Amino acid sequence: MKRVLSVLISILMLLLLAACQPTPDEQIVMKKDTERMVERAAAQENGTPVSMLGIPNERYTYEASDASGMVHIRADAEIILPDAERLPIVRVGMGKFTEQDAENLYNLLCDGATPIAPDTPLPKSYYREIVHGLTELRQSGNLDKYDSIEELDAAIAEVMKQVDQAPANVQAIEPKFSFISKERISEIRISCLGADFKVSTLSVMNSADGSGSCRADFIRNIQDRAAYSALIAGGLAPTLAFEQTLSPYFVSPKMSGQEAAGIANGAMKKLGLTDFVCTGKRMAALYSPGVDAIDAPRRGMYEFMFTRGVNGAAITFTNDEGMASPADPNAAARPWPYERLRMFIDDEGIFALQWDSPYTVTEIQNEGATLLPFDKIAEVFELMIVVKNEQPGNSAIAAYQQTIEIKEIRLGLMRVKEKNVRGSGVLVPVWDFFGTQTFGGITIGQDGYQSLLTINAVDGSIIDRELGY
């Protein structure tokens, strides 16, 4: 819990860092104008080949401090390029999950399990399996989340009562793939009982409020729901899940990363998502913040992140979800989450899957955008990384030193919202500067997917990934 609070504090500090920044004297950063940007991107026939951007063959290095000497910037970064010579400009809209999407997910994730109604009483075998697990816990001497043997024994006794009351068997149902309208959403929800007596749930939900917040969510064992929610939730969770892998109590999966990747890529093919690209992977730890024991085991698994690809170029994955609300209510409408699919693989296979906010590709506006040379992008970075993070001398947090280390620079696509056009966005080429930021003894970005600055590759404008423009 202390770790959670620490990360919360760090995020609050970073929000403060983003406020009230001075305007640079040199106007090298373009104003945000989607229409003008698209026109600029089409200025050169067939666009600018990536090989002609003057990208250094070796790593990009840079070091600087702000005027106060309190903000230190160090870059020693590998430059990662897409598998495409030219990057497109693509118009996309808010999509929705279909009944066929739900059926495809069910066939993949619930294969071999018995579909049951969500409110169906679970069989005796289900509760006996829980008793078996609790008994093994007692015998091992590891009380996990229980404070005493007495508390654990009470939990076993409570589950035994459920064994007595539960039916011997469970009634199977025919899975239905039709959306049921509820308040502000429509949803397909299916529960399944596996041969291992674990109950899995699949939820496919479309928003009805125009926010684009659609989500498909699967977990193999509902007993892990609380810990999974902490693992998958936005903001803190990716950082916390990764940090737990640094613990001496982290339990690595027996399965190799290559084997896990094979399962993940095979699953995407079965789902028919052939236009998605694996743009990230990391270790994750299933750990409930409610467990106070410092030496509690951290159950390890692999996480794979997939994003949409167009003509060989893929959307860059970052920890940002695009869920921040704009200060100006007329600026970019309500939050519109980024499309991404996250899959978690453990030694038993697919532990969980979450697919957010599918896009519809409406038009490829430009097969190859005209891009700024890399030295211009570097110029923007070297100015704006300081401007973004420096503090006025009278700021309460100006007394704290911060160190920013850039470890990777990646060229890819990003969806930006169109001003005053609801539910419409444009995939544009961007440069992301990934790294860590240390402030007050707290470091964020160690998982490798914290973009500390995003620059539009077409016009050099700075993009706020949380706002989406």
Give tens-digit pLDDT for 71-123.
999 999 999 999 999 999 999 999 999 999 999 999 999 998 999 887 778 88
Residue 21 to residue 395: CA distance in whole angstroms: 11
Task: Please state the rounded mean pLDDT for residues 207-228.
Answer: 86
Amino acid in position 369: A
Residue after which a domain boundary falls, among 338, 359, 380: 359
pLDDT at residue number 322: 84
pLDDT tens-digit series, residues 14-23: 333 333 344 4
For residue 467, the tally of other CB atoms under 10 A from its CB is 18
Largest CA distance in the chain: 76
How do 215-219 and 185-193 pair as beta strands? unpaired
Q: Is residue 331 part of a domain?
A: yes
Q: Does the pLDDT at position 465 exceed 70? A: yes
Residue 289 to residue 440: CA distance in whole angstroms: 22
Domain residues for 318?
A: 95-122+177-359
Q: How far is CA 402 from the centre of its chain?
A: 25
Question: What's the DSSP call for residue 332?
Answer: S
CA angle 233, 122, 287 (to 5 degrees): 25
Residue 354 to residue 468: CA distance in whole angstroms: 20
Specify whether 263 is located in the same domain as 197.
Answer: yes
Question: What's the DSSP call for residue 462?
Answer: B
Specify whether 21 is located in the same domain as 133.
Answer: no
Counting beta carbons within 10 angstroms of the beta carbon of residue 6, is it exposed (0 to 12), middle (13 to 18) or buried (19 or more)?
Answer: middle
* Confidence band for 177, pLDDT divided at 50, 70 and 90: very high
Specify whether 451 is located in the same domain as 317.
Answer: no
Tokens of 125: 């075998």
Q: Is residue 462 part of a domain?
A: no
What total number of domains does the chain contain?
3
Question: What's the DSSP call for residue 52?
Answer: G
Residue 319 to residue 78: CA distance in whole angstroms: 19
Task: Please state the rounded mean pLDDT for residues 451-465.
Answer: 95
- The H or E element that residue 11 is part of is helix 2-17
Reduced to 3 states, what is the DSSP secondary structure of residue 452?
Answer: strand
Task: Please state the rounded mean pLDDT for residues 271-275.
Answer: 95
Q: Is residue 376 part of a domain?
A: yes
Residue 332 to residue 424: CA distance in whole angstroms: 10
Q: Does the pLDDT at position 299 exceed 60? A: yes
Specify whether 23 is located in the same domain as 141.
Answer: no
Q: Looking at 102-116, 271-285, 416-430, which range is the least confident one?
A: 416-430
Rounded to two decimals, the pTM is: 0.86
Tokens of 254: 């027996």
How do 185-193 and 114-116 pair as beta strands? antiparallel
Tokens of 317: 């994955």
Specify whether 331 is located in the same domain as 371.
Answer: no
Residue count of the chain: 469
Say which residues have a Cβ less than 8 Å from residue 51's Cβ, sequence separation at least 6: 85
Answer yes or no: are the C-beta atoms of 61 and 76 closer than 8 Å: yes
Q: Is residue 465 part of a domain?
A: no
Specify whether 326 is located in the same domain as 217.
Answer: yes
Say which residues have a Cβ less than 8 Å from residue 358's Cβ, sequence separation at least 6: 95, 96, 97, 101, 214, 339
Specify whether 39 is located in the same domain as 99.
Answer: no
Tokens of 146: 């229980």
Q: Is residue 271 part of a domain?
A: yes
Q: Is residue 288 part of a domain?
A: yes
Residue 153 to residue 134: CA distance in whole angstroms: 9
Q: Is residue 464 part of a domain?
A: no
Say which residues have a Cβ less than 8 Å from residue 348's Cβ, sequence separation at least 6: 220
Residue 315 to residue 395: CA distance in whole angstroms: 37
